Amino acid sequence: QNDHFQWEKYLEETGSLSAPSEYFRQSKIPPANDFKVGMKLEAHDPRNTTSVCIATVVGVTGARLRLRLDGSDNQNDFWRLVDSPDIQPVGTCEKEGDLLQPPLGYQMNTSSWPMFLLRTLTGSEMAPEAFFKKEPPKPPLNNFKVGMKLEAVDRKNPYLICPATIGNVKGDEVYITFDGWSGAFNYWCKYDCRDIFPVGWCNLTGDILQPLGSNVLITKNTTKTQPPPSKAAQRSMQSPQNSAIILPTHQTKKSGRPKPPGCPS
């Protein structure tokens, strides 16, 4: 855990506040992840959300599962929290009188689907009901403020959870920006969206929090007399352009980490 990003120093250096955990639609104590690779479950097809498919756990990361729909390819894996409403035990669909659907991009002839389904489920390990956790309730209001720090899924690289800042707030929506990265990864989402987490989430779940991008803009409060920290933090959130210095992050300090192609700076 220790070579990953450390919030404490960064919050202090930037004079910023983290968004309180009760602002998020996440459990205060992250849910236990008991799933094992190879287990099967039912999942809503992310590309066709009205259909429920059989999925296999192909990875476990923090409180999340890496899922692959049976009968689909390996290029469309997706990640879900263990308390996501998008996943359920095998048998749920049938109990509700629905039919399991082939995933979008089912590679074989549709007529082979019933037999495929039978084969894929026969002898497989089904994830027990107790592994699926209840989705936490929605916080009643959007309390996020511009400048607050958080951890957020990079939707272009959804396996990544990265240090982020609230860049804007409009009604029920928040604008997620990624620290040290150009705007290419930014997105708007609802304040109760399941892709955003309080500072410390990855540390608690064992997921890996990504390092900052290489363009970290540290904005510091330059007033000579040090006001009490909470106020200072508040102020720098309201007027972040007091003074700006570009600090190299630890990954540039290690020097020579080549930038991946197509990586915006």
Binding stretches for ligand MLZ (CB under 6 A) = 154, 157, 160, 162, 178, 181, 185, 260, 262-263
Distance of alpha carbon 22 from alpha carbon 29, whole angstroms? 11
Q: Minimum CB separation from ligand MLZ for residue 261, in Å?
A: 8
Nearer to ligand MLZ, 160 or 208 (CB): 160
Nearer to ligand MLZ, 5 or 185 (CB): 185
Nearer to ligand MLZ, 164 or 237 (CB): 164
Nearest to 131 by CA among 43, 44, 32, 38: 32
Please say whether the beta carbons of 117 and 111 come within 8 A.
no
What is the residue type of 82? V
Q: Minimum CB separation from ligand MLZ for residue 190, in Å?
A: 20
Nearer to ligand MLZ, 144 or 185 (CB): 185
Q: Minimum CB separation from ligand MLZ for residue 236, in Å?
A: 23
Q: Minimum CB separation from ligand MLZ for residue 185, in Å?
A: 4
By residue count, the chain amounts to 265
Please say whether the beta carbons of 40 and 70 come within 8 A.
yes
Q: Minimum CB separation from ligand MLZ for residue 238, in Å?
A: 25
Distance of alpha carbon 74 from alpha carbon 233, whole angstroms? 45
Q: Minimum CB separation from ligand MLZ for residue 66, in Å?
A: 17
Nearer to ligand MLZ, 99 or 263 (CB): 263
Give percent helix, percent strand, percent coil of the chain, each to the nearest 5: 20, 25, 55
Nearer to ligand MLZ, 138 or 155 (CB): 155
What backbone torsions phi and psi does residue 114 show, to the nearest 5 degrees?
A: -55, -40
List residues bridging with 151 in a β-sheet. 163, 197
Q: How far is CA 187 from the centre of its chain?
A: 13
Query: What string of H, E and C letters represents the secondary structure of 38-55?
Result: CCEEEEEECCEEEEEEEE
